[in-house]
Amino acid sequence: MKNKKIFIIIFLTSLILFFFLYKVIDGIYYREVSDLIDLEVYGYGGSMTIYGDRSLVLILIVLFSIITSSVFIYIYNQREKNFLEYIKMIKSKLSSLSKGDYFISIDEVNSLGALYDELYKLVLELREGRELAIRDKLKLKENLEDISHQLKTPLASIEILIELYKENKDEKHLDKIDCEISKINYLISSMLTIARLDVNQIEFKSEEFSIREAINASIESLEAQIQENSIEILADGEDFTIIGDFYWIVEALINIVKNSIEYGRSQIQIMTRKTNVYSEIIIKDDGEGFSKEDLNKLFQRFYKSKNSAAGAGIGLNLSRNILEKHNATIFAENDRGGKFTIKFY
């Protein structure tokens, strides 16, 4: 029904158009020839077509109109068919994407044409989102397992200390219990922070601040440990500014300096330097340095050196995560003691 209406419209339009063109061309040609000879003598009256042949002309015009209409309808139907197949392919592809099938064949690339670029972007975004969700799920599982594993030791210690206290009521056991509880609080707090960093749940501020202020803030937070270990802090170098979250940069520096306090003997140097490519912080202690095994595993979560007297093996891993979120790198090496180098790009 739809095609029939279109055919009639095109047929009538073609009929009128062909007849109009015929009359225009015929009239022009008649005027030009009539200036040269008397056409009426030969049976032409106002037209180059003899009266008896005019019905043939009309039949030809109708025939041309029918052919034109038929060709147009055929082209229209083919384009509509191709368009419907195109829509069907898109629906099928979107249905596949919703089921997690991100494969696009060469035939589909050729058929989809310009839409392929946009569909390919969608495929990449969906695939990346799916992989990210899987990674986040695995990280959450790993973090829960890590927390469970790390809490076993202090909880077991508390259980033993409680039994000992029940037996002899010695107050020193209560102090040890308090110490173990502090460890648990630190573990839980640190692990929750790492878990939030892993799944990008921490929103960092973007503010410009002096790195010297951040270093001073970290030193002030560790003042009690510095005095307890009789460590001298030597800070030197040019100040520079970075853009990031002041609180979290201070947190990262605290963990690094704390490590240097634990392994240093009497002195820690904190040097700053700015180049055309990056800005740098060097934190160096005068201890024995790192073993080869330590250098390879230093920033791994829960890794503790054999010489480590305290700590849960979380601090340096947390610092690296924070620094990476601020487009910075950190690496450790031996240089007449342990040395950490932080580079902000």
Could you report the per-residue pLDDT of 182-194, keeping only the tens digit for each?
778 877 777 778 7
For the stretch 222-280, pLDDT in tens is 998 899 999 999 999 999 999 999 999 999 999 999 999 988 889 999 999 999 999 99
- The verdict on pTM exceeding 0.95 is no
**If 0-12 CB within 10 Å is exposed, 13-18 middle and 19+ buried, where does residue 199 land?**
middle
**pLDDT at 25 (0 to 100):** 67
How many C-beta neighbours within 10 Å does residue 268 have? 26
> What does the DSSP 8-state code read for residue 43?
T
What three-state secondary structure class fits 110? helix
**pLDDT at 213 (0 to 100):** 96
d(CA 280, CA 273): 5
Provide the residue count of the chain: 345
- Cβ–Cβ under 8 Å, residues 269 and 278: no
Nearest to 278 by CA among 329, 226, 204, 230: 329
**If 0-12 CB within 10 Å is exposed, 13-18 middle and 19+ buried, where does residue 221 land?**
middle
What's the CATH class of domain 207-344?
alpha beta
- Cβ–Cβ under 8 Å, residues 87 and 29: no
Domain spans of the chain, in order of start: 2-101, 138-198, 207-344
**pLDDT at 52 (0 to 100):** 46
How many C-beta neighbours within 10 Å does residue 192 have? 13
**pLDDT at 70 (0 to 100):** 76
d(CA 312, CA 303): 8
d(CA 178, CA 172): 10
DSSP strand pairing (279-285 vs 267-274): antiparallel
- Cβ–Cβ under 8 Å, residues 340 and 282: yes
pLDDT under 70: residue ranges of the chain:
1-3, 7, 22-58, 61, 93-94, 97-120, 136, 139-140, 143-144, 146-150, 153, 306-312
